[in-house]
Chain A
Amino acid sequence: MNASADSPPLIAVEDLHTYYGKSHILHGVTLHVGPGEVVGLLGRNGVGKSTTLKTIMGLVRPTEGSVRLAGQPITGLASHKVARLGIGYVPEDRRIFRLLTVMENLRTGLDREGVTDARKQELLDKVFTYFPVLAERRNQAGGTLSGGEQQMLAIARAMMLEPKIILLDEPTEGLMPRMVSQIRTIVDVLHRDNVAILLVEQNVPLTLEASDRVYIMEKGAVRHHAAARDLKVNDAVIHQYLGV
C-alpha cells in the first residue's frame, strides 16, 4: 500500500454488510485503497463487486460496517456529499446524461462552488487532451456517442470532480480492443496524477497489468488479497476463484 504506516488509507471499507430488500448481498467486505493506488476488485458475476462500489458511493445504504475517506467516516452519507468529498464514480452502464451535450455532461461535475473559471478551463483542457474526440463532439448530445465515446465521457465527467479516487465499474465491458487500450492508458494517466482507482473488471489480464494490488471477491466477501505482480505469476488463485 502506498499510504505510510501512520496515515489512514484513502478509502477504508470495514466489514460492510448490504442488503437489497431481503437479499443479503455483501457479507462483511473489508478492503483498503491507498492514495494514488490502483486496486483491482475481481470476482465472478453477482459476487457483489458493483454493490461494494455503490455502497462506498452512498447509493446503497449498508446495514453494518463502515466506510472512511482519509479517516473521515462517510458511511450512509448522501451520495452528492460523498462525490463532493472527492470520490468519482463511473458506473457499469456509464449512465451518461443522454439528452445533455458532452459539454453539459462535463459541467454537471465542473460547476461547483470554489472552482475558478481558470481552473475549469484547465480541467477541460486536460480531458480534451486525453480524449480529443470529446472536444470534437462537445456540442453533441451524449446519447448520440458510440459506446466507447460514452465510456470516455463517463470517465471524463468523473474527472471534473477532481476526485482523490475514482470507482471504475467494468470500464472496458463491450468495448472494441482499440477502446480498451485507450481506457487502459487513461487509468495509467490517472495513476500518474496520483488519483487512486478502485477498478472492478472482468478482464483479468488488464486488471493485473493496471493494478498495484488486487482483491478477489466470492459470495459477497473478499476471499483473497495479493499484490498484482504476485497473482501474475501464481495463476492458481485466479483459476480457483475466477475459473480462468
Chain B
Amino acid sequence: MELTAILYAIPWDLIVIQTVNGIVTGMILALIASGLTLIFGIMDVVNFAHGELFMLGAYIGVVVLATTGNFWLALLIATLVVALLGAAIQIATLRPLLGRDPLTTILATFGVSLILQNYALWQFGPVARKIHEPFSGHFTLFHLEYPWYRLVIAGLSAAIIGGFWMFLKYGKYGIWIRATTQDRVMAQAMGIPVPLVHTAAFAIGAGMAAASGVLFGPLVGVNHTMGLDWVLKAFIVVVVGGMGNLGGSIAAAIFISLLEAYASIWVSPAQAVIVSFIVLILTLLFRPTGLFVPTPK
C-alpha cells in the first residue's frame, strides 16, 4: 500500500522529460568537453579560450545563416573556419610555449579568450542574436510539445563524437594523436610530426566547440559571453571524467547533465547548477583522477 503511494508520488512524466532534456544537454556538453579534453590530453594545455571558440562558432553560424539561409551550410562553415582559426591560435600562441611552465599556457589562452570575447562585442554588439532552427516540428511528450530539433541536436552531437572516436580508433592520424597523447617524445622518435599533430588536435577541438555553438545557438541565443557558462561546465566535466580521458568526459557530461535535469524538477534550474559543483568537489576529494577512469593498479 505504502509502495503504491510512493510510486504515485513520483512525477514519472517529469522524470522522462528531464531524462530527455539531460541527454540533449549532455550530448552538447560532451561535444564541447571532447575538444577540451583532447587538447589537454595531448598538449597538457588547459584551454581557457575554448568557450570563446564555441561562441565564435555560433556567431559565424549567425552570419552564414543570414547570408545563405542554410543552417547546415552555416554549421559546416563555422566548424571549418573556427578549426582554421584554432590552428592559427595554436601556432601563434601555444607552440612557442610548449614545454614551458603550464602557467604560461593558461595565461596565453586566457588572453586569447579576452581578445575573442571583446572582438565579438565590438563586431556584433551586446544584443543577443538568434539562430533559427532548421525545422520547427514538435511531438507530444506527456503534457509538453517537445521540439524535434532538440533530439536532432543530441543525435548530431553523438554522430560527431562517434565519427571522431572512429577517426581516433582506426585512422592513421587518429593513431598519431593517441600515440602523441601517451608519449610525445617516443611519438617523435617514431617519425610522427608531433608539432603538426598538436596543431591538428587543437584545430579539431576548436572545430568541435564551434559545431556545438551553432547546434546549441537556437536554444540559448548568441552573445559574446555565451561561452563562459559552457566552458565552466565543460571544465567540470573534464575533471570529473578524468583529465584527458575522452570516454570519461562523454560519460561525465551525460551524468552531470542528467543530475542537473533531475534536480531542476524540485529546485530552480539556477539552483540545480549547484549539483555540478557538488559532484566536482566530491570527485576532487575522493577520486581526483576522475570518476570514469579505471583505478590505477
Chain A residues packing against B (C-beta within 8 Å): 57-59, 78-80, 83-84, 89, 91, 95-100, 104, 107-109, 111-112, 157, 161
Contacts and interface: CB of A to CB of B under 8 A. Distances in A.
Contacts, number: 65
A95 B185 contact: yes
Ranked nearest first, the 8 interchain pairs of A and B with the lowest CB-CB distance are: A83-B191, A95-B186, A111-B172, A79-B188, A89-B189, A108-B190, A80-B188, A84-B191
For the residues of B in contact with A, the DSSP-based class is helix
Contact of A57 (B178, B189, B193): B189
Nearest to B172: A111
B179 interface: yes
A109 B186 CA distance: 11
A79 B192 CA distance: 9
Given A107-B172, A108-B175, A98 B191 contact: no
B183 A97 contact: yes
A5 B250 CA distance: 62
B194 interface: yes
Interface in B169-222: 172, 175-176, 178-179, 182-183, 185-195
A79 B182 contact: no
Contacts of B185: 59, 79, 95
Given A83-B191, A100-B175, A111-B176, 12 more contacts: A59-B185, A78-B193, A80-B187, A80-B194, A83-B189, A96-B186, A97-B178, A98-B182, A104-B179, A108-B179, A108-B190, A108-B192
A100 B188 CA distance: 16
5 contacts: A59-B188, A80-B190, A83-B188, A91-B186, A100-B182
Contacts of B193: 78, 80
A80 B197 CA distance: 12
A100 B178 CA distance: 8
Contacts of B178: 97, 99-100, 104
A79 B175 contact: no
Contacts of A58: 188
A76 B132 CA distance: 54
